Amino acid sequence: MPYNLSISLANWEYVYEPGQELEGFVSFELRETIKVKAIKVQAEGLATTKWLLSESSKSSHGRSREVSYSAKVSYMNEEQILWKPSEGHAKSSIFPGIHVFPFKFSIPKDIPPSFEGDHGKIRYVIRVTVERPWKTNRTLLKYVYIVPPKNLNLLQNITNETMSLKSKKVGFFLFRYGRVNLRIRIPKKGYVPGETICVEMEIENHSSRQVLKAECYLIQQCRFLAYRYGMGGNSMTGIENEETDIDSSRKRDETKIATCLQDLNLSPRSNYNSKLRLTIPCCCPNFDSSLIHVDYFIGVKLHVKCRFRNSLKAECPIIIGSVPINDETIDPRTPTFGEVTVFSQLTQRSIMSVDEKITPKYVFYPKFGKSRELDKPPSLDGLQLPPIDDEDDSF
């Protein structure tokens, strides 16, 4: 190929907030003279959802068929022409050398974050296109990550304690062993990635069976919206109406992004209180958009020693943000931008599994609550060095 094309951004981490300027330049290195019609750069933000559903109808004589459901919402679509021929010419030549074309875009406000899911995604990309006469256009992509700030201090009742109580009779039919009660309590509703959740657990085992273990987990719940054959709602806003609601479909995915286990072996007819600690990994904050909604739940699941109805779980909703709750007793430390680590655990059921997967970046506090004393270098006070022997210059 007679030329090389590259995109460079001023922000080397490629992470931006809504309302910021997206600046960079395109480098066009030529080894020989070529004819070019135009060089364009486009900033695009697009949310898409897509899946297949099996449906049957009278016309198909009871046989099912796969129907496509999809939807798109555009959050950003701007284009700039970096180079074009002089007026009156459809094409022109560019001579060998390195040509640099700067560009700048304004990121819209109130747009959702970058997100990758099993049935939908939100992506922001810089696309450069070189249009040549009688040649295939050359296109280069550079993904950027939008991370809107979510300040937990601006949310109401975020510091309130939340609790969940569940009760269940374990066993089935002739093999009923009694009731098990589970109560979980967390001190507040809002957290940030890197922070540790302390879950208080109270178990009342009124059954005749052992409670073997307790599993504490954090669930990411994603809800998606799509329309039959992609027709319905508003392609720019995704807002539904009464006529298109009957042609809409919804999906809900739940993924455990963090877990911890505690062996109990709790005897029958006994009670037990404990605390479980779970650190939140790097993940997307809670958000609501036209097509995709993301929520989080912290839960505890008990495993009872029996074959039927042998588990009991209680869950509490939490809110994950990017700015932690103000607390004089805790030092959140300086945040970084971390990559999501759970993408390889996504299922492959979706037809989108063949699509290219990217790894978004989000705010992460790797040293949340840790003392700054640990970062100081060791003191040399009191360090005893071995004696140095005097050199004998006599021969």
Domains of the chain and any CATH numbers = 3-146 (2.60.40.640), 152-373 (2.60.40.640)
Residue 155: which of 188, 109, 187, 114 has the closest Cα? 188
pLDDT at 295: 97
Please check the confidence at residue 212 and state whether its pLDDT lies above 60.
Answer: yes
Residue in the block written with tokens 């937990």? 152
pTM of the entire structure? 0.85
Give the model's confidence band at 317: pLDDT under 50 very low, under 70 low, under 90 confident, else very high: very high
- The lowest-confidence range among 87-101, 216-230, 366-380 is 366-380
pLDDT at 373: 57
Between 56 and 156, residue with greater pLDDT: 156
Please check the confidence at residue 349 and state whether its pLDDT lies above 50.
Answer: no
Mean pLDDT across the chain, nearest whole number?
85
Mean pLDDT of 354-381: 72
Do the Cβ atoms of 88 and 121 come closer than 8 Å? no
Q: Is 105 exposed, middle or buried (0-12, 13-18, 19+ CB in 10 A)?
A: buried
Mean pLDDT of 349-365: 70
| 3 state DSSP class of 330 | coil
Spatial distance between the Cα atoms of 39 and 91, rounded to a whole number of angstroms: 11
Please check the confidence at residue 88 and state whether its pLDDT lies above 90.
Answer: no
**C-alpha pair distances (Å), 268 with each of 26, 214, 216:** 70, 15, 22
Residues contacting residue 12 through CB under 8 Å, at least 6 positions apart: none
Spatial distance between the Cα atoms of 181 and 302, rounded to a whole number of angstroms: 10
pLDDT at 340: 83
Give the model's confidence band at 215: pLDDT under 50 very low, under 70 low, under 90 confident, else very high: very high
Phi and psi torsions of 354, nearest 5° = -80, -10
Q: What pLDDT digit, counting tens, does each position of 120-170 carry?
A: 999 999 999 999 888 888 999 999 999 999 999 999 999 999 999 999 999
Give the model's confidence band at 342: pLDDT under 50 very low, under 70 low, under 90 confident, else very high: low
Please check the confidence at residue 353 and state whether its pLDDT lies above 50.
Answer: no
Give the model's confidence band at 347: pLDDT under 50 very low, under 70 low, under 90 confident, else very high: very low
Spatial distance between the Cα atoms of 276 and 262, rounded to a whole number of angstroms: 8
pLDDT at 87: 75
Please check the confidence at residue 325 and state whether its pLDDT lies above 50.
Answer: yes
Count of alpha carbons within 13 angstroms of residue 154, beta-carbon side: 6
Please check the confidence at residue 328 and state whether its pLDDT lies above 80.
Answer: no
Phi and psi torsions of 375, nearest 5° = -85, -10
What ranges make up the beta strands (E) of 333-386? 336-339, 361-364
**C-alpha pair distances (Å), 169 with each of 5, 202, 312, 384:** 66, 17, 9, 67
